[in-house]
Chain A
Amino acid sequence: MSLLLIVLLPLLGSLLPLLSSNQRRHQCALLTAAMPLVALLVTLRETPGILAGEVPRLALSWVPALGLDLAFRLDGLSLLFVLLILGIGLLIILYARHYLSETDNMPRFYAYLMLFMTSMLGIVMADNLILLWMFWELTSLSSFLLIGFWSHQSAARKGARMALAVTGMGGLALLAGLILIGQIVGTFDMQTVLDSRDVILADPRYLPALLLILLGAFTKSAQFPFQFWLPQAMAAPTPVSAFLHSATMVKAGVFLLARLHPALAGSQAWLYLVSLTGLVTMLYGAYFALTKLDLKTILAYSTVSHLGLITMLFGLNSQMAVVAGIFHILNHATFKAALFMTAGIVDHECGTRDIRKLKGLWRYMPMTTALAAATAASMAGLPLFSGFLSKEMMLAETLNTQLLGGLAWLIPALATLGSILSVSYSLRYVRNTFFDGQPRELKKTPHEAPFPMRLPVLVLAIVCVVVGIFPALTTTALLTAAANSALTTTAPELHLSIWHGFNLPLLMSAIALAGGLIVYLLRQHLFTFHRQFPARDSLAIFEGAVQRLVRFSQWGIDTLENGSLQRYMLWVVISALAVAGISLTGIETLKGELAIQEASPLVIVGAAITCFAGLATAFLHRRRLISLIMLSVVGLMASLIFARFSAPDLALTQLAVEVVTVILLMLALFFLPQKTPKESSASRIVRDVLLSAGFGGVVASLNYALLTRPLNSISDFFLENSVPQGGGHNVVNVILVDFRGFDTLGEITVLCIAGIGIYKLLNRLRLFMPSSDSEGRPWSPDRYPTILASVSQTLLPMALLVSVFIFLRGHNAPGGGFIAGLVTAVALILMYIAHGVEWAQQRLSFQYQPIAVSGVTIAALTGIGSWAFGHPFLTSAFGHFHIPLIGNVELATAMLFDLGVYLTVVGATLMILANLGKVTTPHRPSKQKEKA
């Protein structure tokens, strides 16, 4: 329970500052500090147990399908980080209270800060890989808000965006890596993963997983070549830099290395990738820290350098190196947070962070000077300060490594070089800012910052000194506990002390101090040398790259999406062709194991007619009427094919639909050009013919392959249960209205919506009314044909009777709502054709929209009705009833549903055709003639 408190209290705390107003700044800061303080106390209560070796864990199932649990642990490593995050976080809250100016929105700032704190705590305490990743992403997002806090500044916005882009990209890589690990191990549970090193290292997926995870860790911890975002993030307010870039955000990357060290380390890949990246980053950062001019940028590069050092230690595959790395995490967090705060004080009181303008500040701010000197001494690794201890351990470990084989001496040599540079930039930071003359060109006279701003620095400086002097007393227990969690075996026994006797690491330290002093004294030569290189602004490069990417994407969009429907159609077809074609190459033979049936002459003739009509539809498409007639031939043939192959329902439906389709297209053709102009170029025709032929080939092959293979379908269930459960003998109809009734409900809804959509499209339509056909002959002014008129009137009652018959028998014999509806619609449309819209409207004076809508409603209500009897949606019931005169009749609720289908089909079909017909009426040429 206490584990949940530690994470969730700061989350609650992110809301508290918002209760306060911007004016009541004390109250705001106090409200903010309350929750982390409680969380810190809870952590301290757990501490003795953890130091004794307990690992409190807590797991709540969250999204079991994804393997995501709300699982937390508090082992030694987590404890160290939790103490750092909460402790330094509290100091930062105090510091920021006085740092932020009147114009800054303090509640918002604190809310972001607490959100960030929560996500950091989540990372270090997560006991589930996916949960860890989730908090990891949360740090990216909340740090984006913090870095861009001064959103009116362009640099802040760009810096925040860059940090988000780089760390966000790394986060995605990390997710992929963690998923791979989860697949190798079979779970995302942290403990299981940490215990499965042998399985992970032996798996072929180890290398890609490692690369992806390292990509995540390196981007977060600003390792070369991703170091560039960190200096740009210095546009953030200094409390943010002090928190994010010393103790937390950038430490998340090295934390990950430590956390997964038991599971991933030990391979050659790990050794080379991690330690060499760390080494390069250490030197790169140190060099640039020495040459930069802005105080915070100097500190940023020094952070890069020290993170490189820590990374290198984790890479060395030695137990003691891991201990040293963890120790340096602790030390770096304390001295770097303090140094950032001194830089903030200087900026706050002098109005500039330019090291060229700052000099001799010790006269104005003696205490800040002392604190800066003490913490910088720790950074430089001076004896009696905490940094000295971890640096000595680092140097000792570099001597022990076998990395690079015969060139192994390079590692300690380069590590010493890094230390030399570290000494000189520390020296430069202190001497050039606080000593060495008088300040120049300052906008205001500097003075000491308010005490509450110096207090956090004082606390951290005391930590640096106390740890530096009494290392064994203060840190051994915590370090051992932390190292135990980061190692597969028990941590080696620690003998932390200032004096180990005269040995090689001590000599290297001495060289570092002396060399650092010399480099510092000769720094002007270095700067002259450095100026020969063109200045490279990483922000400009990054923004340029982003711009190029945007332009490239725009070009891609413009090319692919040029507004031509034909082009889109082409892409869709090509993709479909590629997907289907490629999977066809995967089967061994086109013909399957089923025996081929003999084709009767009738079938051959039918197929020939169908093919001929299909081809004619395409080739004669410029003569639209003929093309349409050919299309109707195909439709009729399709109906015959259905009839031939045991599908009477389909044959009836197809026949009825064919009639309405052709009437519809004929009507539409009246308003569209009668002929298609010749405009396709020869090359385009060749292209389209080839594409269509390919498409047809793939479809035919697929169809043949399917037809010659046995198919196991679920249809036996329908065949067996149609009568006993659905109460109907026509299985197709029972499927439609009962087994798959919900699908049908969806389909009639679509039909109804299409009808309404068409009704809307026809509303206030501007029509092109041709007065003559394509040959220039005027349309026939003849009245409606008398024979058709009289025959249709006779046919109407019969047709309606037939449709009722088809409807009623549908459940047990071919027929049903769809077919009956179409027959009714066709019968009514015949009246329109034979007599004209006006005549028909006088006699059929009702709207079709309500009919379609009521059809859908009836069908839906039938479904809902089964709820009333405690059955699931659309459960059908049936029974046998005795009706006088007619006899025993089987009635099913499915019939009511079918009635809904029937009404929808009638309504929608007539809505489409009658409304279209209605549009034409006022403009009919024949009528004009009459009037004229």
Chain B
Amino acid sequence: MEALFATTTGILAASGLYLALRGRTFPVVVGLTLLSYAVNLFLFSTGGLTTGKAAVISGDAGEYTDPLPQALVLTAIVIGFAMTAFSVILAMRVRGDVGSDHVNGNRIDEPREDKS
């Protein structure tokens, strides 16, 4: 199962990076989001893969999973959303101001779509 989990993280990270290296803003934002999923899964897994042992203290002293990575990842998910939102709206803004959705800000070819 560990190998399966690691492979999944690796594939998500690779796909995310490939997108992040593209030249247009939207795929880059999607790529960064994908990458953050991979990172979250990775961080989460540092606490180990346990089943059915959620860190909610019940009366009988039992085994619990590691709560610390979960707490870190929980905020990371929310912050990741803020980052995605910021970058995608920045992309919209750039397209509005520069006229292109290329990440390098090239003012290239793209004809302006009719503005209503």
Contacts and interface: CB of A to CB of B under 8 A. Distances in A.
Nearest to B112: A768
Contact of A696 (B3, B14, B24, B89): B14
A723 to B, nearest CB: 5
Report, as a range, how many residues of chain A touch the other chain: 35 or more
Contacts of A691: 17, 21
B45 to A, nearest CB: 6
Contacts of B26: 624, 668-669, 672-673, 676
Interface string A636-659: 001001101111111001100100
A765 B11 contact: no
Contacts of B19: 617-618, 621
Interface string A693-721: 10111011111101110010111001100
Contacts of B116: 769, 771, 923, 925, 928
B78 to A, nearest CB: 6
A715 B67 contact: yes
B55 A730 contact: yes
Contacts of A703: 5-6, 9-10, 42, 45
Nearest to A596: B2
A597 interface: yes
Interface string B88-116: 11111101110001011000001011111
The secondary-structure label for the interface of chain B is helix
Interface string A794-826: 000000000000000000111000100010000
Contact of A661 (B73, B84, B112): B84
Contact of A813 (B56, B66, B73, B86): B56
A697 B10 contact: yes
A368 interface: no
Contacts of A909: 81
A803 to B, nearest CB: 15
A65 to B, nearest CB: 30
B85 A664 contact: yes
Contact of A610 (B8, B45, B57, B78): B8
Contacts of B93: 761-762, 765
Contacts, number: 322
Contact of A565 (B46, B47, B85, B103): B103
B21 A692 contact: yes
A711 B46 contact: yes
Given A607-B7, A645-B65, A650-B73, A747 B79 contact: yes
Nearest to A609: B8
Given A624-B27, A747-B78, A564 B6 contact: no
A699 B18 CA distance: 14
B56 A731 contact: yes
A761 B93 CA distance: 7
B21 A569 contact: yes
Given A628-B30, A731-B67, A649 B74 contact: yes
B44 A647 contact: yes
A444 interface: no
A677 to B, nearest CB: 8
B23 A679 contact: yes
A679 B102 CA distance: 11
B70 A768 contact: no
Contacts of B10: 696-697, 699-701, 703
A621 B20 CA distance: 11
Nearest to B55: A731
Contacts of A642: 44
Contact of A634 (B27, B37, B65): B37
Contact of B56 (A676, A729, A740, A747): A729
Most buried by B among A714, A735, A908, A928: A735
B113 A768 contact: yes
A671 B92 contact: yes
Contact of B96 (A598, A603, A766, A928): A766
A668 to B, nearest CB: 4
A693 B45 contact: no
Nearest to A598: B1
B56 A812 contact: yes
A818 B75 contact: yes
A767 to B, nearest CB: 6
Contact of A618 (B15, B50, B56): B15
Contacts of A631: 30, 33-34
A754 B86 contact: yes
B81 A660 contact: yes
A757 interface: yes
B6 A912 contact: no
Contacts of A582: none
Given A680-B22, A740-B71, A771-B116, A599 B66 contact: no
5 contacts: A618-B16, A621-B22, A692-B17, A732-B67, A768-B113
Interface of A: 563-566, 569-570, 573, 596-600, 603-604, 607, 610-611, 614-615, 617-618, 621-622, 624, 627-628, 631, 634-635, 638, 641-642, 644-650, 653-654, 657, 660-661, 664-665, 668-669, 671-673, 676-677, 679-680, 688-689, 691-693, 695-697, 699-704, 706-708, 711, 713-715, 718-719, 722-723, 729-732, 735-736, 740, 743-744, 747, 750-751, 754-755, 757-758, 761-762, 765-771, 812-814, 818, 822, 905, 908-909, 912, 916, 923, 925, 928
6 closest cross-chain pairs (CB), A and B:
A700-B10, A696-B14, A618-B15, A704-B6, A754-B82, A766-B96
